[in-house]
Amino acid sequence: MTVATGAELVARVRAGEELACARLMSLAERGDTRFGALHDGFFRDLGRARRFGITGPPGAGKSTLVEALALHWRRAGRTLGIVAVDPTSPFTGGALLGDRVRMGRLALDKGVFIRSMATRGVFGGLARATDDVADVLDLFGRDTLLVETVGVGQSEVDIARSADLTVVVLHPGGGDTIQAMKAGLMEVADLYLVNKADLPGLDRLVQQLQDILGLRDLPPDRHPPILTSCATDGLGVAELAAALDCLHAERAASGALAARRAENFERRVRRLVEGRLRHDVWEAEGLGALLAERISQGLPQPAHGLSDEILTLYRKRTPES
């Protein structure tokens, strides 16, 4: 792909061509250096889409909820971009057909573009790739983006925070809050949704949430709202959609949204820089292998001396690559 065809690809994404959109996403996912250059050409046109992060433990019903939300907003004439991030999945991105099958009721709707992402083959981490892929959907003209992540670890929490608003989905029974807390999800929620509200244990889960919120230093009126739903029946979905739009509008008006986006942007740039530095030192320069090899020769070894040596090698080999 030459620069000309790169610019052409971007133009075709802007024009709403699905295949171009998928190809540009693939560049982003692979961490192709050309993506960065292309992105620098279109970032000014981003930020129009509302971005909602949907996360929670496995089994909370996130996919069903995302599908129901998308259907709801489609009926209101909105266009959707969905990024489904599953780091445990063996499938890499681009499986367009598979994605469509996964959310059956959206399969034939051109107003919903779904992209699945998994860890494998993603350079620089899922958080970097997810930001870039979501930006492609924004460029593609989608007005509403849903980024669904399985809330299982620090990097997924980071992804969930990178949206304008983050919904943490839980369901009654099954040690749900336990898993959410282990993943650090409780801190990043702008809104809790207790899905599968027809299951026994609803009151107990809501009580647990309130207890945990009570441990924080927030005044009660600043606590994230707790909503309930039963997404398989569509119950509570309209309320969630309304609450999200309302919170988004409030924050846009108060300036909180701009502040959140600035925070997200700073984290993103830091992540890009640190990811490149880590990649350069440990992988591109092979110094991770050097470290492992040294350790395999047995301890004790000089921690400081070895780190100095690695830094010196890194700086020598990387004058301005």
Q: Which is nearer to a second copy, 47 or 121 (CB)?
A: 47
> What string of DSSP letters covers 178-197?
HHHHHTTGGGG-SEEEE--T
Cβ of residue 40: shortest distance to a second copy, in angstroms? Answer: 4
Cα(210)–Cα(172) distance, rounded to whole angstroms? 14
Contact residues: a second copy, CB under 8 A: 35-37, 39-40, 43-44, 46-47, 131, 154, 175, 177-179, 181-182, 184, 186-187, 211-212, 215, 258, 261-262, 265-266, 268-270, 272-274, 276-278, 281-282, 287, 291-292, 295, 299-308, 310-312, 314-316, 318-321
Cβ of residue 188: shortest distance to a second copy, in angstroms? Answer: 12
- 300 upstream amide cis, omega within 30 of 0: yes
Cβ of residue 302: shortest distance to a second copy, in angstroms? Answer: 4
The identity of residue 245, as a single letter, is D
Q: Which tokens belong to 203?
A: 């009151």
Q: Which is nearer to a second copy, 2 or 296 (CB)?
A: 296
Q: Which H or E run contains 166?
A: strand 165-170
Q: Which is nearer to a second copy, 72 or 223 (CB)?
A: 223
Cα(171)–Cα(265) distance, rounded to whole angstroms? 31
Q: Which H or E run contains 180?
A: helix 176-182
User: How many C-beta atoms lie closer than 10 Å to residue 162's C-beta?
Assistant: 26
Q: Which is nearer to a second copy, 120 or 270 (CB)?
A: 270
Cβ of residue 189: shortest distance to a second copy, in angstroms? Answer: 13
Q: Which is nearer to a second copy, 211 or 250 (CB)?
A: 211
Cβ of residue 52: shortest distance to a second copy, in angstroms? Answer: 19
Cα(103)–Cα(110) distance, rounded to whole angstroms? 13
